[in-house]
Amino acid sequence: MKKNIIYILTFISCYISFSQVILSEKDENLFKEIPQEKIFLHFNSSFLLAGENLYYKIYCLNAQNNKLSSLSKIAYVEFVDSNLEVIFKQKIKLISGLGQGDFFIPSSILSGNYKIVAYTQWMRNAGELNIFQNDISIVNPFNENQDAIINKTVDTLLANKKGKINYNKNDFIIAPKEFFELKLNKKNFKSREKIILKFTNNKNLGNYSLSVRKVTPFEIPKRYNSVDAIKNNIDFKKNTPKSIFLPELRGELIFGTVYERDSNLPAADVKVTLTITGNDKLFKIANTNNLGRFYFNISENYEQSNAIIQVLNKYKNYKLNIENLPIKMYDYLSFSNFKINELANEFILKQSIYNQIENAYKEVKLTKINQVEPELPFYNKIGKTYDLDDFTRFPTIKETIIEVVDAVTIKSRNGKSLLDIIWENKMDKSGLLPLVIFDGIIIENHNEFLNFNARKVKKIHVVREKYLYGTQLFEGVISFESIKGDINGFNSERKDYIVNIDLLKPLEKKSYFKQVYDKNKFEHIPDYRNQLLWMPNLSLSSKDEEVIFYTSDNKGEFEICIEGFTESGKPVSLREIINVE
């Protein structure tokens, strides 16, 4: 299997076309041997109000054995309205087939029926019908037009007068006891009371997600469970495309083509760079293939949501074209005609007030973004740094180099000025130029850059060592760091050999707020949570384990929902109902 994946990566580099690979006849059998993927998305509710959060957990599975897939490293989650417009789109990093995220439902969204879809690029080769989709209905009580969701004649299945719901136990897939048993300390609770979930006799390791949420007093769109996910079998013998979407095996993929300016023909063996600026600068080099095409894998973390791609050498002879992924069309989607009647208004009004109170106290009920270690600059901070605030300031880069930076000199070649590094041992000189970058962007026109305003520069870092990046050797590195990221205005010659592109940055992983009442910190703070707990990563070991959380002042019936898969690929789906009085 690993050999097949390595081989497909080899021919990928030869046949990239609009982010797809053209399959030859000999490659079709190989393509079939690489397992397809499918996604199960566990999310907290299929009925939400504006002001609430939709939380989700991604399980990316090997379609052959239902084990977590190690193939794709990126998944996409989109929220689509009935006009087939994408309202939200998120890119999620997958670690061993797992990922997580959330959407906040804003007050600008209209009431109506929506779809949440999830996929990897590799999944698209099996056809769009194999992409995960589920109905979600939204009510925005702040919007006057509710025709899309409220119908006076519809028979909404409301609760009886006591507010109790009659559940069909067949709707709840109970996890077999050989996986684990779930035990509650009790079934009826008071406000702000501790709930203890005990997981016992677990003999099947796996990964699960846990949601505890208030039950709506009427029927809502069906949520698929993990058992439903394994029913979708994909057969490539009936569906072998002539061209395939590339699997994002190492991270995000960015594609493009370089053309010769005069002939407009694809340019082979041309070096192209990608730069993402910010504190954790990212710099990559790729070579074009015999069709003039290149691609970048981005597995690193980064801050900025844009990148700069440029031709490295003899740049005036070439022009760039960035080939975006094809726009997804959702013509195949069939939207629910879910409606509720005006009898639901009381529930919606009450819950909407609770949501507003909860949102008003978000500052004390924080969800934290998990901080990741910033990536070191590609030159690993070796060399010497000049903090220009420690020296007399000069107006231009040229004067600053002459007066301050003793490791750099300015020399003339063919009537143009160039930056060069002063080496302690001249025998080390190779005759090559250093890599000169400003906030990670390569400076090709040194002559113009020397007149740039040096008061916008914070630091200059010089690496006095030969630097090999990819297949390109540089005579050291001269890195300029701006104060405010203001890199405009110094290269008027920039045209079609340098391209600015917007990036859909992968969502940061979060640790969600978990209410605790062991201490008196929250005693006087209102608590009307209808989502008592969202735990996207519930990893159970062979030992008995406990999950502890607390009820709120929001009374009613709450559903405990556990979804996931054992390590052997068996689905686990469990529901329990508790009551808060």
Q: pLDDT of 40-51, one tens digit each?
A: 999 999 999 999
Tokens representing 407 are 């490791």
pLDDT score recorded for residue 4: 53
Tokens representing 335 are 């939207």
pLDDT score recorded for residue 523: 82
Closest CA to 193 of 488, 563, 517: 517
pLDDT score recorded for residue 405: 94
pLDDT score of 29 more than 70: no
Average pLDDT, integer, range 334-363? 89
pLDDT score recorded for residue 30: 66
pLDDT score recorded for residue 105: 94
pLDDT score recorded for residue 161: 36
Please state, for a pLDDT cut of 90, what percent of the chain lies above it. 40
Tokens representing 18 are 């609009």
Gyration radius of the chain's alpha carbons: 29
What is the largest distance, in Å, between two alpha-carbon atoms of the chain? 92
pLDDT score recorded for residue 170: 44
Closest CA to 239 of 133, 327, 124: 124
Which one has a higher pLDDT value, 472 or 24? 472
pTM given for the model = 0.85
Strands (E), 140-231: 181-184, 188-189, 194-200, 206-214
Lowest mean pLDDT among 20-24, 99-103, 232-236, 245-249: 20-24
pLDDT score recorded for residue 16: 40
Looking at residue 115, its amino acid is K
Average pLDDT, integer, range 81-102? 94
pLDDT score of 489 more than 60: no
Q: Are 101 and 370 in contact (CB under 8 A)?
A: no
Q: Is 402 helix (H, G, I), strand (E, B) or coil?
A: helix
* Secondary element (H or E) of residue 2: helix 2-15
Beta bridge partners of 230: none
Strands (E), 388-440: 408-413, 416-421, 435-438
Which one has a higher pLDDT value, 45 or 382? 45
pLDDT score recorded for residue 168: 44
* Residue 83, Ramachandran bin (φ over 0: left; ψ between -120 and 50: alpha; else beta): alpha
All residues at 6 or more sequence positions from 155 whose CB lies less than 8 Å from its CB, including other chains: 341
Average pLDDT, integer, range 249-265? 91
Question: Which tens digit of pLDDT belongs to each residue from 520-572?
Answer: 777 889 999 999 999 999 877 767 888 999 999 999 999 999 999 988 898 98
Q: Are 457 and 400 in contact (CB under 8 A)?
A: yes
Angle at 286 between CA 282 and CA 288, to 5 degrees: 150
Q: Is 254 helix (H, G, I), strand (E, B) or coil?
A: strand
Average pLDDT, integer, range 21-33? 62
**How do the domains of the chain map onto residue ranges?**
2-236+328-372+510-580, 384-491
pLDDT band at 97 (very low <50, low <70, confident <90, very high): very high
Q: Is 401 helix (H, G, I), strand (E, B) or coil?
A: helix
Question: Which tens digit of pLDDT belongs to each residue from 125-167?
Answer: 888 878 999 999 999 988 877 888 877 666 655 443 333 444 4
CATH domain 384-491 topology: Ferric Hydroxamate Uptake Protein; Chain A, domain 1 (2.170.130)
pLDDT score recorded for residue 580: 96
Q: Exposed, middle or buried, 424 (CB in 10 Å: 0-12/13-18/19+)?
A: exposed
pLDDT score recorded for residue 306: 83
Which one has a higher pLDDT value, 166 or 1? 1
pLDDT score of 17 more than 90: no
pLDDT score recorded for residue 378: 60
